[in-house]
Structure 1
Amino acid sequence: MTLVWSHVALNCHDQRTTERFYGEFFGFRRARTVSLGEEEIIFLRKDDVYLELFHSAVAPIAKAEGDGHAHQGTARHLAFQTDDLDAFLDRIGDQVPVSLGPLHFDDFIPGWRSVWLTDPDGVIVEVSQGYRDEETAASS
């Protein structure tokens, strides 16, 4: 039996706004739309990563700050990697709110830097440069 990563499902106030955000800044494109009568599910894809967008009129439990929610049972943030964090930040300019950073983690990995942004629905999105696994990471 094989298991592979499938997708992350996001609740959105306005699916089209969220779709534009992940399309413009992260390169996602629509892969499929599933009609549910008056509602629809929008699947976005970038390479082998999918985001599934649901409409939700329910307000967030709490506003996420910094690097994301600390509530048990919620995802803290989504994360992407880039080879040039400065170029990414230049491209987004002031179009996307920064919730934290950019921060340097040279004490752990030389050259590792991250910034945390807020998507249109308040989801925190990390963009990181320079992370790499340990060469001899312990297995569990």
Structure 2
Amino acid sequence: MRWSHIGLNCRDQKQTEEFYRRWFGFTRARSVPIPDGEIVFLRQGDAYLELFPAGPGEGTPGQADGPSGPGAVRHLAFQTDDVDAFLARLGDEAEVTLGPLGFDDVICGWRTVWLRDPDGAIVEVSQGYTDQPDAAGEHGR
């Protein structure tokens, strides 16, 4: 078993595709026609996003790092070498919802910012995260 993708409902699929293409390096891998439009598959390495046309109504607004209700995707997350340089490239196009915050008390150099994509999904961008040595311990066996 391996991770496959995250599906996003989009008010404007072209705008959402451009956002992930431009700022996160995704490219279009496929599109599939459906009765109310198309599903757009974006790929970046082994990560895929499926962009669906949004149905009627609006999603439930969430907190700064994403919705907290059960069944909702809280946020998408990406790693970068430098959060501040990434934010500088986005400039005024970044709608930061939280941070950047430093988590040096947990991992020296861990820094994270959360921002909103064109459809309101929260995207986390971090630098410096590392796994805890032997974190699986008894739980991973």
Q: TM-score surpassing 0.5?
A: yes
Q: Is the 8 A contact 1:12 1:56 kept in 2?
A: yes
Structure 1 residue 87: deviation in Å? 1.1
Q: Is the 8 A contact 1:65 1:124 kept in 2?
A: no
Give the paired residue count. 138
Q: Is the 8 A contact 2:77 2:123 kept in 1?
A: yes
Structure 1 residue 58: deviation in Å? 2.6
Question: How many angstroms apart in 2 are the aligned matches of 1:35 and 1:89?
Answer: 35
TM, length-normalised to structure 2: 0.93
Deviation digits for residues 23-64 of structure 1, max 9, x if unmatched? 011010100010114411000000111000000133333222
Q: Is the 8 A contact 2:36 2:53 kept in 1?
A: no
Q: Secondary structure at the match of 2:92?
A: coil
Quote the residue 1:22 is aligned against. 20
Q: Secondary structure at the match of 1:52?
A: strand
Q: Secondary structure at the match of 2:124?
A: strand
Question: How many angstroms apart in 2 are the aligned matches of 1:114 and 1:58?
Answer: 33
Quote the residue 1:39 is aligned against. 37
Deviation digits for residues 55-109 of structure 1, max 9, x if unmatched? 0133333222311111111111110001111110110011020000000001100
TM, length-normalised to structure 1: 0.94
Question: How many angstroms apart in 1 are the aligned matches of 2:63 and 2:14?
Answer: 24
Q: Is the 8 A contact 1:64 1:122 kept in 2?
A: no
Q: Which runs of 5+ in 2 are unaligned?
A: none
**Is the aligned partner of 1:84 residue 2:82?**
yes
Quote the residue 2:99 is aligned against. 101
Q: Which runs of 5+ in 1 are unaligned?
A: none
Q: Is the 8 A contact 2:87 2:94 kept in 1?
A: no
Q: How big is the alpha-carbon RMSD for the aligned residues of Structure 1 and Structure 2?
A: 1.1
Quote the residue 1:118 is aligned against. 116
Question: How many angstroms apart in 2 are the aligned matches of 1:31 and 1:138?
Answer: 34
